[in-house]
Amino acid sequence: MLRSLLPLGVALLGATSVLAVEPPSCSLDKKCPEEAPCCSQYNQCGVGAFCLGGCDPRMSFSIDSCVPAPVCKDKTYKMDSLDRYKHISEYLGDSSKVDWVGQGEPLLYNGHTLLTMPPKSVGTVLATTTYMWYGNVKARIKTSRGAGVVTAFILFSDVKDEIDYEWVGVDLNTVQTNYYFQGITDYGNTGNLTVDDSYNKFHDYEIQWTPDEIRWLVDGKVGRTKKRSETWNATAQQWNFPQTPSRVQISIWPGGLETNAKGTIDWAGGKIDWNSEEIKNYGYYFATFGEIKVECWKTDKAPGTNKGISYYYNDISSTNNTVVDSNKPTILKSFLGTGRNMNKADSTQSGSASQSSAVHAIPGGGIVGSGNAPGVNGNGDSGSGSGGSNSGSGNAADPSCKSDGFVQTCGQASTDGGDSNGNNSNNGVRGADRTLGASAFAVIIGIAGLLFL
C-alpha cells in the first residue's frame, strides 16, 4: 500500500514541531555558531545531517565541523531499485549501505527511477553518498516537460564547485551546460547543446572531468570542452575551475514557481501550471533516470586519489591542493553529532532524527520513509510490482494529495495516460535564483524546509 500525502503532512509536522525557530544562516562572512557549527548546502546551520553531504567547511564554525566525505568508488547505479536510497533524515554517513540520499518523492517505474514533483511541491533531489574527485559520470535520462519545470544532472562539491546539465521543460531539444568555481556566479560559463526530444527519448549524458578539462558528451559525442587553462583569474590569482570532491546530484525542481524571481521564471520558460495535462494524467511532473555510471579518476598521487576512506579540507581556501585523502571516519553515532564530535549520542534513538532535541539536525524536513511504487507496463495499464511506503520531505505538498492505484492525485481528475502503442514509456506512471552558484533547487528546497519549522 502506498501512503497518501495527508499522513505524510502529519508526519512532517510531528517530526519537526520541535524546531521552533529558523536555523541560523551562514555565509563566507557569517560563519555558523559553535552550538550549530555546520553550514549545510542550503546555507543554514545545524548538527547531524547538516554536517554530512553538502556541509561547507568555509562557512562552518571551524574547518573540522563538517564530517569527512566518503571517497570516490567506481560504481554502476542501475536505478531499478530504491533499496539503497535513504531520506536525509535516515542517513548517518555509512556509504557502504546507502548509495543515494535525498528529499522529495522518488518512485520506481518500468525498471527506472522517477523523480517526481506533485502540485505545490518543490520536487525531488537525490545525491550520491560517495564523492568524485575527478573522473567520468554518465547518466541515461528522459527529462520532465512543461513551462517552469527543470530537470538537472550535476556534480556539486561541498565548497560549491559545480558542473551541470540542466533542461527547461519548454525546450526539449536543448540541454544547457554550465560550470562554477566555489559558487562564484558567472553566467558566461553557460553553453547549450542540441538533443532530440529529451522527454520522449532516453539519451546518455556524460561529464568527463580531469584536473585539466571538462567535457560534456551527449550519446557518446563531445558537445563541449572547457579547459582549466582558460579559467585563470588574474585578480584572485587562482583557476576558477571546478576542482574539489563532488557528489552526483539529480533533481526535478520548479524554476517557474510563482514566488521565484522574474529572471528565474523567465529562464525556466514561464510559471508552472499545476493544472496541466501532465498533472491531470499522472498526478505530478516527473523525470526518468536509468543507469548512472561513475568511474573515478585513476592516479597514484593527488589530486584525484581515492586510496583512503574519506576526503577532508586542511585549509579554508578549499582548492584541490587542500583536499586530503584520509582514513578519517565518515559515520555519525546520532543526529546530534558533528565533525568535531562524531560519537555524540542521542539519548532517545540513533539512526534517525532526534525527537527530543530542539537542535536543528535535518535540513529542510522531518522523518519520512522511502520505498517502491507499484510498476506499470509500457501501454499505461497497471502492472505488477512490489509496493511499499514511499514519501518524502523538503516539499510543501498539497495535503489533499492521495494515492489511488498507481496514479497520485491532488484534487485533479486522473487517467492512465499513454497511447495505444505505448510509444512513450513515461506514460502511465504512478502517481530560484542561484545561491553562490548552486543549482537553484537548493534555494527552493531550503525555503521549503522553513515552512515546516
pLDDT, residue 22, reads 83
Q: Is 223 left (phi over 0), alpha (psi -120 to 50) or beta?
A: alpha
- Section 256-263 average pLDDT: 95
**Residue 413 included in any domain:** no
Q: 15: part of which helix (H) or strand (E)?
A: helix 5-16
Q: How many domains does the chain have?
A: 1
Strand, helix or coil for residue 242: coil
Q: Is the dihedral of CA 59, 63, 66, 69 positive or negative?
A: positive
Look at residue 270 and tell me whether its pLDDT is greater than 70. Answer: yes
Domain assignment present for residue 280? The answer is: yes
Q: What is the pLDDT of residues 320-348, one digit of tens each?
A: 999 999 999 999 999 999 999 999 987 55
- Structural domain includes residue 323: no
Q: Does the active-site annotation cover 162?
A: yes
Domain containing 261 equals: 71-299+431-451
For residue 232, which of 240, 243, 222, 221 has the smallest C-alpha distance? 240
Q: Give the separation between CA 248 and CA 25, rounded to whole angstroms.
A: 25
CATH classification at residue 445: 2.60.120.200
Q: Which of 109-118, 359-368, 397-406 has the highest mean pLDDT?
A: 109-118
For the stretch 4-60, pLDDT in tens is 222 222 222 223 333 347 899 999 999 999 999 999 999 999 999 999 999 999 999
Query: What pTM does this model have?
Result: 0.79
At 359 the pLDDT is: 67
Q: Which of 166, 230, 278, 291 is catalytic?
A: 166
For residue 287, being part of any structural domain is answered with yes
404-453 residue pLDDT tens:
322 333 333 333 333 333 333 443 333 333 333 334 444 344 434 333 33
278 domain residue, yes or no: yes
In a domain, 416, yes or no: no
**Residues 192 and 224: beta-carbon distance below 8 Å:** no
Position 230 in a domain:
yes
114 in any annotated domain: yes
Task: Look at residue 372 and tell me whether its pLDDT is greater than 80.
Answer: no
Is residue 90 flagged as an active site residue?
no
Q: Which of 90, 105, 162, 206 is catalytic?
A: 162
pLDDT, position 248: 98
Burial class (CB in 10 A: 0-12, 13-18, 19+), 126: buried
